[in-house]
Amino acid sequence: MKKKVIVSLSGGLDSAVVLAQALCENYEVEAVGFCYGSKHNKFENKAAQSLANYMNVPFRLIDMRETFKNFQSSLMADSNVKIPEGHYEAESMKSTVVPSRNIIFLSILSGLAWSVGAEEVWIGIHAGDHFIYPDCRPKFFEVMRRAIEIGTDERITLVAPFLHVAKRYIVQRGIELGVPFELTRTCYKNQETACGKCGSCIERLRAFELNNAEDPICYTSD
């Protein structure tokens, strides 16, 4: 019997490659996304569903808008703070931190994994996240993995295959694995077509450029 793993599938580029990687390693995979009320969430969730359909894995979307309702971040739909433009590793991008978001997602996925008989939770955090997001850094991840192992009586462990990997190499791996990048959603803004100007878009475009590859999604021209 195949080992079962849960993949945290945001609909972004990184988690799409993580999903492809888990399938390539021949695991039984269930993908899970979260609807938590960010500005770009409805586009992300749609992308995650499309990716799961394409890769033929079951997808579960957990509605957590009630839980995140009072969380402060420029990323949240009810925030008046604008999504910052510019480089992903700029000080200004720190307004996009959603307090404890990954801590929360990993916790829930560990409980769900336990309930559905999965042994691992895979997540797409990577080297580019380290500067801004404290709950994406290796030091956090290692301690959190241990907390979850102990808190689940060693049933569940966390896997972050790209923890130390820069986004350009994630794109490279995605190209090797045939990931349908046209289905992914990266932009932080509340608009259908990616802006090409927020930190998240800029980091994505740069990663394709460094691979001499073309990003297949559309960007607004203004």
Residue with tokens 């995140």, as numbered in its chain: 68
Interface size with its own copies, residues (CB under 8 A):
41
Burial class (CB in 10 A: 0-12, 13-18, 19+), 91: exposed
C-alpha 184/C-alpha 207 separation (Å) is 14
What strand order describes the sheet that includes 59-63? Answer: 59-63, 28-35, 4-8, 120-122, 157-159
Are 65 and 36 in contact by the 8 Å Cβ rule? The answer is yes
**One symbol per residue from 90 to 129: x for binding its own copies (CB under 8 A), - otherwise; what is it?**
--------xxxxxxx-xxx-xxx-xxx-------------
Q: Which of 134, 169, 190, 206 binds its own copies (CB under 8 A)?
A: 134
Residues 34-73 that bind its own copies (CB under 8 A): 60, 62-64, 66-68, 70-72
C-alpha 92/C-alpha 78 separation (Å) is 19
By the rule CB under 8 A, 146 interacts with its own copies: yes
Q: Which of 77, 90, 147, 175 binds its own copies (CB under 8 A)?
A: 147
By the criterion CB under 8 A, which residues form the site for its own copies? Answer: 60, 62-64, 66-68, 70-72, 98-104, 106-108, 110-112, 114-116, 134-135, 137, 139-140, 143-144, 146-148, 150-153, 156
